[in-house]
Structure 1
């Protein structure tokens, strides 16, 4: 095995940014024509689009139309993905919201299950309306979003409040993005709630890290808050927030920025590029969660014209291949990972990859497979095996257990990303 240093970039020709291609070469077809070599060279100053695309978070208009056409025609794998959606209890139009003024995650009085269950219901009903055209599902989604927009005033608890603000912030915004043009959805009220309740916590975490050592928190803590800021930026057409998230992805001080989230690069014996994930010595449930959190950031940015998927010579793809290979049962290299913890940066180290929760199934792989393999025509051997052998067709919240880990990603990638 060969290993490169934490910040080494493998030799690869520099290409213009995805947005530059879209503007100058006539659209996505031109971007795909460049294929595997395309990387992002966008600068911080021009990260935010001049005009935001809607819908433009996890799903764009093309994704929605493709799913609609394929499901109507009864074509697999879209139909299998659709059947996973319609069988889920959260996607039923009879769902009743349980909005509350204060959400608590961590410490006494935890009630955050109310929020993640309602978000899953809002998102799934919104998908059923967008793909199936059923008005009852649209009304249900709008009712859930409106109830929370006019009720929720704070997210609190111990340090875990930052996880709640991050994960549920980007997920909530995605449900709202699907519903933004629905007449009975109060978009303005929802935008204000995201700005007033979620963003302050997201911003506080990325800038202050709960007054802890900059390396104390795992990558997912940064990633979910980055994703929330990015999603709020898109939902509210706020260029400053969009730029904040993209800039942090590229050069942030914490463990969620790309070079810190993927500190070591390798090439395996079969010639595949791999990247050690920052949480690999912790457990595999959280490494797979990281694929979903960073994947959400990359997909949302992609739909606004920024190719973070390919940033830094496709560093994220190398991490996804590494995580997939190990969770499929394969051997991967591991370099001792050392970091500073607590408020005084006390040194800790992990000397071996963790086998805890190895092989855990989460609905994060369709997004990555269909991007790298079907959009860019790259050989994503381990990602594709993870998706087809263990996951497909993907479900969503409610299909992977009742605890919060089963709701860390919105899912239904087979329905929405298959190409």
Structure 2
């Protein structure tokens, strides 16, 4: 039974917690279903319970929430004095006059100020978040550039939608205009990439390219109460032809490695920075679906869990098995292969692990030793955009998982 079906049958969230207590003997769950008849709001990366828990724990001064809050308030992007710099046209990619850092910095500021408003009730931060969102929805008309324009539409698409979801109903926020921007500026590129892959071989683009565009479609669907968009994204996760769908993103399973099943990630032979990025993109996708009653964390016998364990174990300095990975590149599907796992950027720290750890370990009560050690040993408490470098890689995830996901 799907998570949504379980909730309907049992009459509430308490049943989901009880179902999760079964542990790892049989992962189960994860059957994808149609879009909800009524969407839950807020219902992307954070639901009402997440927000209330953070609000109460920070007010009490309780760790680890307080430590997560302190990371948020120390970040310059969360200042209520942040002034937006909206652009009519945004570009990403070599050969273009790239100006997309302006957008991802403003999105980080909108999201962080929205968090500060939700947790503390500060209208100064609420006003700041609202003003950033309104400024961009009244100005932005075009996303363009090289093939990287699809990364721009995907990464900044799902992040922008999440900032807007937190401000839904806030006085003066032009939600309808913002929804129009997401549907008319971001979604067409998301859809074009997932259906055409820029005219390239279906396996040419790495998993993260699909995943960020899938996440954007899902987030726009939730923001706009659009069932077909939601279904498009979930269907791609379960059965899409590109590398972002679950069986292509995790092409090989390695059972019972020191007592734990592991899943090899599609980019593991490329480098670890992009591999860890993949944990953040798929984690965000699964969390947004979870908050709409969809258990993709558990889909296909918890295939994502096994991948996260694999990636965490290797990036903690331990050995993992590797199966030769082959794919086609370019328009002609020219043969390429990885024969060994890549050690490039091994151990890179990104704020993606809190969400994964607290779902599997605290919601579901599963043993997640490698994910747990990655989170507590290298990442906690998590920061966000602006805390992990000034280039785009430092803004590939919104972060602040300690504050919002600790349980």
Tell me the TM-score normalized by structure 2.
0.98
State the match for 1:20 in structure 2: 5
CA distance in 2, matches of 1:212, 1:297: 24
Counterpart selection for 2:296 from 290, 308, 318: 308
Q: In the TM superposition, what is the alpha-carbon distance from 1:41 to its structure 2 partner?
A: 5.3
Secondary structure at 1:216's aligned position in 2?
Answer: coil
Contact kept in structure 2, 1:361 and 1:391, CA below 8 Å:
yes
The answer on whether the counterparts of 1:47 and 1:306 sit within 8 Å (CA) in structure 2 is no
Per-residue CA shift, 1:294-335, capped at 9, x if unaligned? 000000000000000000000000000000000000000000
Matches within 5 A, 1:372-391: 372-391=360-379
SS at match of 1:338: strand
In structure 2, relative to structure 1, the CA distance for the partners of 1:381 and 1:273 (3 Å cut) is: same
How has the CA–CA distance of structure 1 residues 106 and 29 changed in structure 2, closer, same or farther, with 3 Å as cutoff? Answer: same
Equivalent residue number for residue 18 of structure 2: 33
Given candidates 27, 32, 56, the residue that maps to 2:43 is 56
Q: Segments of 4+ in structure 1 off by > 6 A?
A: none
Secondary structure (helix, strand or coil) at the match of 2:326 reads strand
Determine the structure 2 residue equivalent to 1:104.
91
The answer to whether the 8 Å contact 1:104/1:156 transfers is yes
Counterpart for residue 78 of structure 1 = 65
Alpha-carbon distance between aligned partners in 1 of 2:30 and 2:149, rounded to the nearest angstrom: 34
Residues 39 and 307, structure 1, Cα contact 8 Å, conserved in 2: no
Paired residues of 1:369 and 1:384 also in contact (CA < 8 A): yes
The question of whether the paired residues in 2 share the 8 Å contact of 1:40 and 1:306 is answered with: no
The structure 2 residue matched to 1:260, chosen from 234, 245, 248, is 248
Q: Secondary structure at the match of 1:393?
A: coil
Q: Kindly provide the CA deviation profile for residues 213-271 of structure 1, in whole angstroms up to 9, marking residues without a partner as x.
A: 00000000000000000000000000000000000000000000000000000134421
| Residue 146 of structure 1 pairs with residue 146 of structure 2 | no
Counterpart mapping for 1:164-313 below 5 A: 164-313=152-301
Q: Using a 3 Å threshold, how does the CA distance of structure 1 residues 290 and 136 change in structure 2: closer, same or farther?
A: same
CA contact (8 A) 2:280 2:397 kept: yes
Alpha-carbon contact 2:88-2:141 (below 8 Å) kept = yes
Query: What is the Cα deviation at residue 29 of structure 1?
Result: 1.6
**Match of 2:114, SS?**
helix
**Partner residue in 2 for 1:410:** 398
Supply the distance in 2 between the matched residues of 1:389 and 1:376 (Cα, whole angstroms).
21
Match status 1:401 vs 2:389: yes
Aligned residues of 2:382 and 2:402 also touching (Cα < 8 A): yes
Give yes or no for contact 2:187–2:220 (8 Å, CA) kept in 1.
Answer: yes
In the other structure, the counterpart of 1:355 is: 343
Q: Distance in 2 between matches of 1:38 and 1:52?
A: 26
Would the aligned equivalents of 1:230 and 1:297 in 2 still touch at CA under 8 Å?
A: yes
Name structure 1 gaps, 5 residues minimum: 1-15
CA drift at 1:17: 0.6
1:354-403 deviations in whole A, cap 9, x for unaligned? Answer: 00000000000000000000000000000000000000000000000000
Partner SS, residue 62 of structure 2: coil
Describe the SS at the equivalent of 1:343: coil
Secondary structure in 2 matching 1:52: coil
Task: Give me the whole-angstrom Cα distance separating, in 1, the residues matched to 2:197 and 2:367.
Answer: 37
Aligned to 2:308: 320
Q: Is there any run of 5+ residues in structure 2 with no aligned partner, and where?
A: none
Alpha-carbon distance in 2 for matches of 1:334, 1:38: 23
8 Å contact 2:30–2:300 — kept in the other structure? no
Aligned mates of 1:321, 1:33 — CA distance in 2: 24
